[in-house]
Structure 1
Amino acid sequence: MNVTRPRKVKMALSCLLGTAMLGGAGEAMATTERTAEQLSQAIDVVDAAVFDAFNRCADPAQLAKHAAYFDEGVEFYHDNGGVTWTRDEMIGRTRANVCGHYRRERVPGTLAVFPIKGFGAIAQGTHRFCDLSGTTCAGEADFVMIWREQDGRWQVTRVLSYAHRPTVP
């Protein structure tokens, strides 16, 4: 079956949102009402912060800072790496495969943010991964992150990283 990429993204989001909403159904979620622009700015800030720590995760303090942005039960779906079901498992893979080797850069202009009423936001975009030993960015991928805002704190509850491909110069 040949499904177009936008349809695949919509299907993935539907499945992911269903899971995310069920996971928080019994919890009281306090979110701040924001305009679309304010929400986009808030997610831009937390995305930059989580990946600033990720990019310096060879330092154990930065890896711990990075980890704190993820819910303990975060589900991470990676088209090449498979699924991790917990923050500890995800951070273990990050420590083993990323720290000291790669940095993440969000492709400018690709971040799109959508509200999830009473919960948080969906962030969608494209990112690339660059070798720390040089200026080469060999690969990029699309991502979707489900952010939950609770008591003024943002945490990621679900991640999709997919459509990994070589970076086009």
Structure 2
Amino acid sequence: MKKLYLFALLLMPLVSQADVTDLQSKMMRLDTALFDSFNHCNNPVQLAKHASYFAEGVEFYHDNGGVTWDRNSMIANTKQYACGKYTRELVSGTFEVFTIKDFGVMTKGTHIFCQNGGNKCDGKADFVMLWHDLGDKLEITRVLSYGHRSNMDNK
């Protein structure tokens, strides 16, 4: 019995690592889809798709722009200040995923923003998103967008 227990303990990290890898892949797919809709949000269908990732009461904290307290305000700001003007690219190797017990998932990373119609990617920022697991889907309830700075690599 002790050997069986020890064997089970040795397998636990393998199972956990597989679960982490699956979650990492799932969240990367969601991040990609979220920002694909953002990058095309000058199309009303894509803007609606982008909005669908966020909870109605999402809180969006932006170090330069301040706070928005709901999805409608956040999407109005996105439409006014970003759609058709900028696209977002995730900085390779910066995306991290953490589970939050009895809630969902936290993602964080660094992204750059590129001006449409050119190859200039002037802005860089860090982000944290809290995704609430509703069983049939995940929705974003909190966003922190901070550390906005010049992108010295400029792409």
Task: Classify the TM-score, shorter chain.
Answer: 0.7 to 0.9
Q: Percent of counterpart pairs with the same letter?
A: 52
Corresponding position of 1:63 = 47
SS of 1:145 mapped into structure 2: strand
Q: 1:100: Cα distance to partner?
A: 0.5
Aligned length: 136
Which of 102, 122, 127 pairs up with 1:118? 102
| TM-score normalized with structure 2 length | 0.86
Question: Within 5 Å, which residues of 2 pair with 1:1-150?
Answer: 35-150=19-134
> What letter matches 1:160 in structure 2?
L
Structure 1 distance, partners of 2:61, 2:82, is 16
TM-score, length of structure 1 as denominator length: 0.79
Instruction: In structure 1, give the amino acid aligned to 2:28.
Output: D
CA-to-aligned-CA distance 1:117-149 (integer Å, 9 cap, x gap): 222111010011000111110010000000112
Amino acid at match of 2:69: W
Distance 1:110 1:147 in 2: 18
RMSD: 0.9
Instruction: Look up the match of 1:161.
Output: 145
Report deviation, 1:52.
0.2
Runs of 4 or more off by more than 6 Å in structure 1?
none
Question: Which consecutive residues of structure 2, in runs of 5 or more, have no partner in the other structure?
Answer: 1-17
Give distance in 2, aligned partners of 1:73 and 1:41: 26
> Which amino acid counterpart does residue 107 of structure 2 have in structure 1?
A
SS of corresponding position for 2:99 = strand
